[in-house]
Amino acid sequence: MYLVCGEALFDVFSLENSNRSSELGFTAIAGGSPFNVAVGLRRLGVESALFGGLSSDYLGARLRRVLEEERVDCRYVVTSAAPTTLAMVGLDANGSAQYQFRGEGCADRQVMLEHLPVLDERVRGLHVGSYTLVVQPVADTLMALVERERDRRLISLDPNVRLNPQPDVAVWRRQVEAFAGHAHVIKASEEDIGTLYPGREARDVARGWLNERCRLVFITHGAHGASVHCAHGSWQRPAHIALPVLDTVGAGDTFQAALLACLAKLGADNPSGLAGLSREHIDAMLEYSIRAAAVTCSRAGPDLPFHHELQAIP
């Protein structure tokens, strides 16, 4: 089982379906990067649990209902009376998402040191990422958790940089580097690298993260596919083009869930197993994750694929 740590929220999309400029419709879809990863893992046949804050309001209750329907373990969820975060999502002409968050004081941030869970042997790895790395008090809580568990369980990191909740790039850079120091696997987007380290090549940043602890770094390159950096070298695979692109919401989370699912199925969801992966295994993980992300891009919103869907794709 993976313990996925971080936010759960609603992505709110505007609907251009009214002839009146004074009227604006919306549709809301359960999301948040860690939420999506936890759901994505279950859809790919791997056990997951969420460690994060949910509101006791009706939106929080709906998020919990989705988790339960997706069979994500909710025993580590922290419930509070704080409201649920809303992410206002706009799509550009290429289907790429732009986010504005309404989250100050919301439930996903109210996870404190006193809420640190006691973990048993079922939890093989932890995944952390997105804006709960940088907003307080949850950021300090997640840091304490990975510091406590880094020598006992696999630690996975996805920065998933979103400047709206925390616009100070220096804070993001400091926090990402701190979490990266405890991680065994890192996945980041080319956009993340460009925001954190303007002017630097993504490959150079990725290679710089590798050390005796961190054995795998994956970088997603949007329409240009994804690359991997490890002891076997660095290489890139192209995007999967057999499916149309509707939007990219949830694509990175899908890629992340697919990577973690592969590690679990290979028995490499632990530091020693990770170190023993062959180049062929790593390349297969890269190809599988690219295909998984393509399925999500072919449909609206963060609707992550099931394992049987990937088997049907040539």
Asked which of 10-24, 75-89, 280-294 is least confident by mean pLDDT, the reply is: 10-24
Q: What percentage of the chain carries pLDDT values higher than 70?
A: 96
The ranges assigned to domains in the chain are 2-311
Would you identify the CATH topology of the domain 2-311? UDP-N-acetylmuramoyl-L-alanine:D-glutamate ligase (3.40.1190)
What is the helix (H) or strand (E) element at residue 169, kind and residue range? helix 169-180
Question: pLDDT confidence of 241, banded at 50, 70, 90?
Answer: confident
Looking at residue 314, its pLDDT comes to 62
Q: Is the pLDDT of residue 209 over 70?
A: yes
Q: What's the whole-number mean pLDDT along residues 90-111?
A: 81
The DSSP letter of residue 122 is: T
Is residue 96 scored above 70 in pLDDT?
no
Q: Is 105 left (phi over 0), alpha (psi -120 to 50) or beta?
A: left
pLDDT given for residue 94 in this prediction: 61
**140-163 pLDDT tens trace:** 999 999 999 999 999 999 999 999
Q: How far apart are CA 43 and CA 274, in angstroms?
A: 23
Predicted local distance difference test score (pLDDT) of residue 248: 84
- Is the pLDDT at 48 greater than 90? The verdict is yes
Cis peptide bond prior to 137, omega within 30° of 0: yes
For residues 51 and 241, the model is more confident at 51
pLDDT on residue 108 = 97
Find, among 182, 266, 260, 275, the residue nearest to 218 by Cα: 260
Residue range 53-68: mean pLDDT, rounded? 97
What's the chain's Rg over C-alpha atoms?
Answer: 18
Average pLDDT over residues 109-117: 97
Question: Distance between CA atoms of 191 and 170, rounded to whole angstroms?
Answer: 16
Using CA of residue 218, residue 186, residue 274, residue 115, what is the dihedral sign?
negative
Query: Is residue 17 predicted with pLDDT exceeding 80?
Result: no
Q: Are 99 and 228 in contact (CB under 8 A)?
A: no
Per-residue pLDDT at 97: 67
Q: Do the Cβ atoms of 50 and 102 come closer than 8 Å?
A: no
pTM of the model: 0.94
pLDDT at 281: 97
* Residue 93 pLDDT > 60: no
pLDDT at res. 277: 96
In which band, very low, low, confident or very high, does the pLDDT at 59 lie, cut at 50, 70 and 90? very high
pLDDT at 244: 85
pLDDT surpasses 70 at 12: yes
pLDDT digits (tens, 9 = 90+) for 248-305: 889 999 999 999 999 999 999 999 899 899 999 999 999 999 999 999 999 887 899 9
Q: Are strands 216-220 and 226-230 parallel, antiparallel or unpaired?
A: antiparallel
Band of residue 106 on the pLDDT scale cut at 50, 70, 90:
very high
Q: What percent of the chain has pLDDT over 90?
A: 82
Query: pLDDT class for 217, splitting at 50, 70, 90?
Result: very high
- Torsion of Cα atoms, 305 then 130 then 119 then 261, to 10°: 30
pLDDT of residue 95: 59
- The mean of the pLDDT values for the chain is 93
Task: Identify the helix (H) or strand (E) that includes residue 99.
Answer: strand 97-102
- The Cα–Cα gap between 52 and 98 comes to 23
